[in-house]
Amino acid sequence: MALRSPEGVPDSRGLNLFDADPSCRGLLELHLDPGLFAHLLPHLTRLGAMAGAELDELALIADKNPSRLKGQEVEKNPAYRNLEEVAFGQYGLAAMSHRGGVLGWPEQMPPAAKYALSYLYVQAEFGVCCPLSMTDALTRTIRKFADPALVARYLPGLTSQDMDLLTQGAMFMTEQQAGSDVGLISTIAKKQGEYWTLHGDKWFCSNADAGLALVLARPEAAPNGTAGLSLFLLPRTLPDGSANHYQIVRLKDKLGTRAMPSGEIKLEGAHAWLVGDPQQGFKQMADMINMSRLSNGMRAAGLMRRALTEALFVARNRKAFGKYLVELPLMRRQLLKLMLPAEAARSVLFFISGELQKADAGDEAARRIVRLMTPLIKFRACRDARKVTGDAMEVRGGVGYTEEWSDPRLLRDAHLGSIWEGTSNIVALDVLRAIRREHCLEDLLPLLNGKIESAPRLLAGRLAASLDKAADFAHEAASTGNEAYARQAATGLYYACAAALMAHEGTRLGERGDARRQLLAFLAYVHRLAPRDPLRRVTTGYEAELAEALLPETPIAPDAAERILTRLA
Ligand SMILES: Cc1cc2nc3c(=O)[nH]c(=O)nc-3n(C[C@H](O)[C@H](O)[C@H](O)COP(=O)(O)OP(=O)(O)OC[C@H]3O[C@@H](n4cnc5c(N)ncnc54)[C@H](O)[C@@H]3O)c2cc1C
């Protein structure tokens, strides 16, 4: 029995994670249609309550009881199965982009709705979000590229909310010699009339027992490199009910996502169907990869919010030296440093969600914006999540390091975001590639400059100058092929975009009485964009004033925000 004392360790268990995040509601009102927002509000409230209580408990149990391989069956702990049921079944998170009828909404839901719910879910459980995202993304990719008869066969299972009928998705790309360098894939595909057989070893296969996987392989006699790769759909069970010809060799023993089974798979003449154009295999797979990268950005944003919620709760309820932690100047500064990346990530996430919706409706400029912003959020938000989850753990003190609380699990899971679906270096290089090859900045900059214009003058001038500078840097690194600066360029661009977006949200929310995000935009400017001298003595007390305004997470009227900005500027 653990010791408990009312004056001792504050117990955040049972918090409603939606209600404990007061800005979330206003933000969602901005980014969702009013009718859909009103419809989703009770679902968000219920999911927030579950995420802070039973889902969190299930996630703790699942984390301590990893999946195991028994023969060719993956044995999952009942806690993990429950977590799957909530995500795929009750909330239909993998289905809602592909059909109506999920959560009582008659149409397919827009990306912002899916990400809003998943953002809340991931605050309790990160591991299940990988199969969720892969199922959702695989469905999207086959609907775009596969033979309609194949899509018709598998769509009902992929979008089912009945766990007995559900088919989950996976992606098998990585091989021992071919991770970042996908062009080195050596799995061979042999044509056998209607279908193909696959022969080779896949080295990292998350959701290893999924019913369907998209696989990259090289048809016999196809050229080397990515140009010679084709995309295949691999079922776990063949249409006649027999097991397909591949073996799960073993499951990985991982730092995080311990309950979600990632395996090694030996393809021994496994039957598979060609998807789309055999010469465009890698390009088609990029569609699934990019959706997974965006989902990773969303997950990082959610992990950071959970970490911030916990840190604020502890700081508001724990005393040291006769004061609540949140009253101590140095702690206030640290809390602001957790708040900024967490808030920045969700502004970027909801911006991309809106652009993705337009892109899917055929808007080419929006497609290019999504093309650039996806590796940007995957890179920066996933890196920020590593730090924010670690630093939030420290706010809880010694017990933060114990497995009784969510902190260690969040930290372990956060580290994965930066590695899979492209490491930090690889996605930062992809940012430069998007700028160089597809000229994505040309669509992004006018849009963001338009958003900045609505901010108070003192803020707008600084943000516009920062955006210019960050874009120039990124453009130069991209056009000169200066790879060594890819990460620095991506970080600058990400925060310049995030600041512009937060300022605009602040202006729009200000019309309803809350301009707090304008102050967050200013914080982004001071901490991430303005030139800094590490030895400069700060005499203005601007951080104390920002902490005073931002840490309570209560609305700030536009005139009050403008007064603060005028004083600080
Ligand atoms: C838990 C987990 C689950 C996974 N699930 C899946 C899955 O379901 N399906 C799947 O296909 N894969 C999966 N992966 C594999 C993952 O995507 C790869 O591990 C990742 O892409 C890196 O590839 P690699 O391990 O071969 O590392 P490498 O490619 O060898 O990279 C090693 C280091 O070199 C750096 N590097 C490589 N190229 C460059 C460059 N040009 N410039 C600078 N630095 C460079 C990388 O950034 C990295 O730091 C999973 C991985 C993990 C950890």
10-residue mean pLDDT profile of the chain (569 residues): values are: 66 96 97 98 98 97 97 98 98 98 98 98 98 98 98 98 98 98 98 97 98 98 97 97 98 97 98 97 96 98 98 97 96 97 98 98 98 98 98 97 95 97 98 98 98 95 98 98 97 98 97 97 96 81 92 97 91
Quote the ligand 1 centre to 180 CA distance (angstroms): 5
Residue 317 CB less than 6 A away from ligand 1:
no
**8 A C-beta contact, residue 188 and residue 269:** no
Quote the ligand 1 centre to 429 CA distance (angstroms): 14
Distance CA 138, CA 97 (A): 12
Instruction: Residue 508: name the closest of 521, 527, 496 by CA.
Output: 521
Distance CA 496, CA 492 (A): 6
Residue 311 tokens read as 């840190």
Ligand 1 pocket test: which of 129, 172, 180, 216 has the largest number of ligand atoms within 8 Å of its C-beta?
180
Residue 251 has a pLDDT of: 98
Taken as a whole, the chain contains a residue count of: 569
User: What DSSP character marks residue 223?
Assistant: P
Which atom of ligand 1 lies closest to the CA of 181?
29
User: What DSSP character marks residue 146?
Assistant: S
Residue 4 has a pLDDT of: 57
Residue 1 has a pLDDT of: 47
Residue 180 CB less than 6 A away from ligand 1:
yes
Residue 196 CB less than 6 A away from ligand 1:
no
Quote the ligand 1 centre to 117 CA distance (angstroms): 28
Distance CA 455, CA 506 (A): 8
Residue 184 tokens read as 């080195």
Residue 425 CB less than 6 A away from ligand 1:
yes
Nearest Cα residue to atom 14 of ligand 1 = 204
Distance CA 302, CA 296 (A): 10
Which atom of ligand 1 lies closest to the CA of 173?
11
Q: Is the dihedral of CA 24, 29, 33, 37 positive or negative?
A: positive
Quote the ligand 1 centre to 358 CA distance (angstroms): 31
**8 A C-beta contact, residue 270 and residue 222:** no
Residue 262 CB less than 6 A away from ligand 1:
yes
Residue 537 has a pLDDT of: 78
Residue 254 CB less than 6 A away from ligand 1:
yes
Residue 435 CB less than 6 A away from ligand 1:
no
Residue 18 CB less than 6 A away from ligand 1:
no
289-299 as b/e, with b when 16 or more CB fall inside 10 Å?
bbbbbbbbbbb
Residue 8 has a pLDDT of: 81
Residue 203 CB less than 6 A away from ligand 1:
no
Quote the ligand 1 centre to 173 CA distance (angstroms): 10
Nearest Cα residue to atom 5 of ligand 1 = 206
Residue 346 has a pLDDT of: 98
Residue 423 CB less than 6 A away from ligand 1:
yes
Q: Is the dihedral of CA 528, 488, 254, 297 positive or negative?
A: positive
Taking the complete model, does pTM exceed 0.85, yes or no? yes
Residue 204 CB less than 6 A away from ligand 1:
yes
Instruction: Tell me whether residue 44 is exposed, middle or buried, using C-beta atoms within 10 angstroms of its C-beta: 0 to 12, 13 to 18, 19 or more.
Output: buried
- Percent helix, strand and coil across the chain, each to the nearest 5: 60, 10, 30
